[in-house]
Amino acid sequence: MAEDSTPKASEDKAADKSAKKPAAKAGDKPAGKAGAKPKKEKPPKPEEKPFQDFMQQHYLPEAETALKEEGLKDLTLQFEKQPLEITGGQVADDCWQVIGRWDQGKRQFNIAFLDEDIKGQKVFTYATSDAKPSTVEQFMGDERRITLDLMVLYTVQRLNAQKWLTRN
């Protein structure tokens, strides 16, 4: 009994307890990981899809909904590959364009993707009364991160700046 109360015996017991605790914790972690379910892969963001799929499956429907909410009733949106023409010539060879028409075809805008990539160079043109566009403007040129929501927002803002959606 005297041996149990000596300082050396109590130190040995404390050392045994501390040695057991880390071993038990280390053993618990792998068992917990082995029982955990593997994480499901997230579906790709719309912006990560191939260009044409993104435009047809996501951008066109979202833009059409947003513009109709702004009051454009007879809006038609098309996504076509064709030359970008303006009054006096042709700006670019075949490039993918979103072409929006309404007001019985009297108003039209084009968003042309010169690089066939939503992150690439984009330009905006507009025309009225079946005329060819006369102005080419950079579209979303300052944006570093391009998302579906931003593309739709910029489209609505640009048409609103033209005073085609609301009057001041």
**Which segments of the chain have a pLDDT < 50?**
27
Give me the domain span that covers residue 65. 51-162
- Domain assignment present for residue 6? The answer is no
- Domain assignment present for residue 45? The answer is no
Structural domains counted in the chain: 1
Per-residue model confidence (pLDDT) at position 110: 93
pTM of the model: 0.68
Per-residue model confidence (pLDDT) at position 66: 93
Torsion of Cα atoms, 12 then 13 then 15 then 17, to 10°: 160
- Domain assignment present for residue 36? The answer is no
- Domain assignment present for residue 4? The answer is no
What are the C-alpha distances in Å from 128 to residues 40, 43, 70, 94, 144? Answer: 50, 41, 19, 22, 31
Element (H, E) at 140: none
Q: From the CA atom positions of the chain, what is the Rg in Å?
A: 32
Q: Which long-range contacts (CB under 8 A, 24 or more apart) does 126-132 make?
A: 126/162, 126/164, 130/105, 130/106, 131/87, 132/85, 132/86, 132/87
- Domain assignment present for residue 168? The answer is no
